[in-house]
Amino acid sequence: MSDTKPEKKMLLMQGNEAIVEGAIAAGCRFFAGYPITPASEISERFSVRMPHIGGTFIQMEDEIASMGAIIGASLAGVKSMTATSGPGFSLMSENIGFACMAEVPCVLVNVMRGGPSTGLPTQPSQGDVLQARWGTHGDHPIIVLAVSTVRDCFDLTVVAFNLSEKYRVPVIILSDEIVAHTRETVIFPLPEEIKVVDRSKPSMPPEWYVPYEDNSVGVPPMAAFGEGYHHHVTGLAHDVRGFPTQRPDEVHELQHRLFRKITLGFHEIQKVKAFMMEDADVAVIAYGSVSRSAHRAVVEARQRGIKAGLLQLITLFPFPRHYIEGVLRQCRAVLVPEMNMGQIIREVKRVNQTKARVEKYNRVDGHMITPEEIFNQIIKL
């Protein structure tokens, strides 16, 4: 019997490819999508990988059908995913709302590009941030994560599936053209090192099953179609058995439970990464590819004797207010650089209850925000 420990696999790959590997590691076995720049490599790699692992890949006729297909696959008990970019993300918005109301776990990747409309198909942007939170109509809970490195693309895709399965909610991964097409060496964890969460299944016999019954965590167990459980699914406001209702008390309880299950999970859903924040009096709050530039700018600022730090947002929504408030209390000035006209800065200013100065730096011309640009803004602060 050999005592040799298995070696970790190391590969050079781009962000889009790492998302696919993360999804497979998390147990994804169904992908439906439609090619669109700069997300097409996700579909391409899934088309190759899925047949070899017993999964299913389908190229749909459009993004509306893609979102509908992964909802159907998830209802049948299969972890499912799709990927798109700006215009396709807009088309998916109605079915995202259906998944929220029907509490169907699934993962959606939006590799952001310049917009609006067809915009800049091959250039990066962060213009879809607030759309990810509010893109479908009505009050709805949703989880939005942002990736910044190729390793992030692997790790956070696993996290996205785990959160989706645990809380029965769609999870959106926001990438952008820079992260999607950056190639970096990734050392993959061993399979036993990857935490994989599966949805809670009903433990009672079919005749006792109440598909949307409340419990202590606000997340009802989910039976798959074909397992003998009666499960009515609708996008309408529904009672605990899944049938449409307009009774105010039942609608009230449903809506509040949808939000309560996410609120109870804030401690594990809201994720940030702090860099040199221990003694910082000037902070950069950034996410996605911009946080890569911000990281380098903070290093350069420290070399000049400036006490700068970086708070990288991994979870964009539910907005990690607790962490932001801590930075605002600690620092005299905060810079929020974004490749949009200013979206996350609105959230930062909304929770600013201190005298901290909050400034923005934006680019919307299809080019990245460089470390030098962020460093120069830190100097001004």
Q: What percent of the chain has pLDDT over 90?
A: 97
Dig out the tokens for 118 from the structure: 């067809």
- Predicted confidence at residue 7, as pLDDT, reads 86
* Confidence category of residue 1, pLDDT binned at 50, 70, 90: low
Mean pLDDT of the chain: 97
- Average of per-residue pLDDT across 372-380: 98
What does the DSSP assignment read for 307-363?
Answer: -EEEEEESEEES--HHHHHHHHHH-SEEEEEESSSSSHHHHHHHT--SS-EEEEEE-
Long-range Cβ contacts of 354-361 (<8 Å, 24+ apart): 354/328, 354/329, 356/327, 356/328, 356/329, 356/331, 356/332, 357/332, 357/333, 357/381, 358/328, 358/333, 358/334, 359/333, 359/334, 359/335, 360/335, 360/336, 361/335, 361/336, 361/337
Residue 99 pLDDT more than 90? yes
pLDDT of residue 69: 98
Say yes or no to pLDDT of 375 above 80.
yes
Q: Any idea which architecture 10-193 has in CATH? A: 3-Layer(aba) Sandwich (3.40)
Q: What is the CATH topology of the domain spanning 272-380?
A: Rossmann fold (3.40.50)
The tens digit of pLDDT for each residue in 132-172 reads 999 999 999 999 999 999 999 999 999 999 999 999 999 99
HSE-up of 174 (CA within 13 Å, CB side)?
28
Domain limits, the chain = 10-193, 272-380
Kindly tell me if the per-residue pLDDT of 2 is higher than 70: no
Give yes or no for residue 5 having a pLDDT over 80.
Answer: no
What does the pLDDT look like over 292-336, one tens digit per residue? 999 999 999 999 999 999 999 999 999 999 999 999 999 999 999
Amino acid at 198: D
- Tell which residue, 230, 190, 193, 180, has the closest CA to residue 208: 230
Return phi, psi of residue 311, to 5°: -110, 105
The 10 Å CB-count burial string (b at 16+, else e) for 155-185 is bbbbbbbbbbbbbbbbbbbbbbbbbbbbebe
The model's pTM is 0.97
Mean pLDDT, residues 266-284: 98
